[in-house]
Structure 1
């Protein structure tokens, strides 16, 4: 997974959503929501979480998470939001809850639903979040959903994120999907090779030996690092 804690799509997105200042009322409300998170103003953040502007709702949810006040109800409500931006933010918040005592109860259950979203950015964020939960996401239904995304989702960024999540979870029930992904496009193949790190066995060794001869140098390098490490 990206080292900065975000999804691959985050790293490739460079166009800002808009200025926080100016005469745009929505921009001002987004700024107010962000400031509420920094100031610990839960009342303001909750009021803005019901704003008609989805960007404001997404920012308000992040503000609640920043101050440690995002609840299971908040995340579940945001995952059902009609706007994909809010659903994606809900997945990101649920992933970050992995480090909190409420993480297993809030994060895994909410994120598993995100894997079935119609928007690829939401699916990618859900997979990333499940990877952040590590072994706590090793539930049969969750592993099956991640394997399905890893092997058959039409968006390669979603497949890549799901493969990375299966590696982070480290449960052998996800190994088959990771091995399948070693035959995908280069970025997914590289991620699949890295995801093999927690696993052992002849099928893993064979996959790494094949990857050592891959036509893509990054895939070869990843395999060599694991074989020589």
Structure 2
């Protein structure tokens, strides 16, 4: 009597990782349905390594119940501007929000809704890491609408002030940015002062 066929066992996290190096997209795709969130996150990386990670898969992963999967998906979405990260900027997990903001900044170009969401995040996020990542992303994007928010961030916590000073770089010819930079030169935090000095020096070299 012939035994009924059995479904292959669920890939382990290690198998998902190895699939990315062994030209085995089938195993990586099966790992996307694994019960363990870490395995699903690893599967996303394997599919990216194999060059077969598409926007639909990333978008689905951004809604995964495990924050680690959502964070990994946000990280990988930095290279795919067709994936909408605006909803992820409002994720309930701060580490996911931080990565989504970072990914938006890595894209360097952003449409209005992305810039608006980052501005809101930089101004209102409870988590300082999320605010810092949003400020950094706004500096990388360089949209003029973000300048008032970046200037206001120069009065936030020290780590955010340092990031905000560096984010002034695209706007350095704007008088309000120059005023903020001069103020940062006298900041009570030495790293903020150092960032301001570095930016001032770099700007002078370009003139």
Q: CA deviation at 1:66?
A: 1.3
**1:174 maps to which residue?**
146
Q: Which of 154, 174, 184 is the equivalent residue of 1:201? A: 174
Q: CA deviation at 1:228?
A: 2.2
Q: CA deviation at 1:112?
A: 1.8
**2:125 maps to which residue?**
153
**1:7 maps to which residue?**
none
Q: Which of 21, 31, 36 is the equivalent residue of 1:48? A: 31
Q: Which of 53, 60, 70 is the equivalent residue of 1:87? A: 70
Q: Find the residue that maps to 1:82 and give its secondary structure.
A: coil
**1:33 maps to which residue?**
16
Query: Between Structure 1 and Structure 2, how many residues are aligned?
Result: 193
Q: Find the residue that maps to 1:184 and give its secondary structure.
A: coil
**2:3 maps to which residue?**
none
Aligned partners of 1:36, 1:160: CA distance in 2, in Å?
35
Q: CA deviation at 1:125?
A: 0.4
**1:113 maps to which residue?**
87
**1:132 maps to which residue?**
106
Q: CA deviation at 1:104?
A: 2.3
- TM-score norm. by structure 1 comes to 0.82
Q: CA deviation at 1:140?
A: 1.2
| Cα RMSD for the two superposed structures | 1.4
- TM-score norm. by structure 2 comes to 0.90
Q: CA deviation at 1:36?
A: 0.5
Q: Find the residue that maps to 1:104 and give its secondary structure.
A: coil
Aligned partners of 2:181, 2:73: CA distance in 1, in Å?
36
Aligned partners of 1:221, 1:141: CA distance in 2, in Å?
33
Aligned partners of 2:31, 2:25: CA distance in 1, in Å?
10
Aligned partners of 1:46, 1:228: CA distance in 2, in Å?
50
**2:155 maps to which residue?**
183
Aligned partners of 1:39, 1:158: CA distance in 2, in Å?
36
Matched, 1:71 2:54: yes
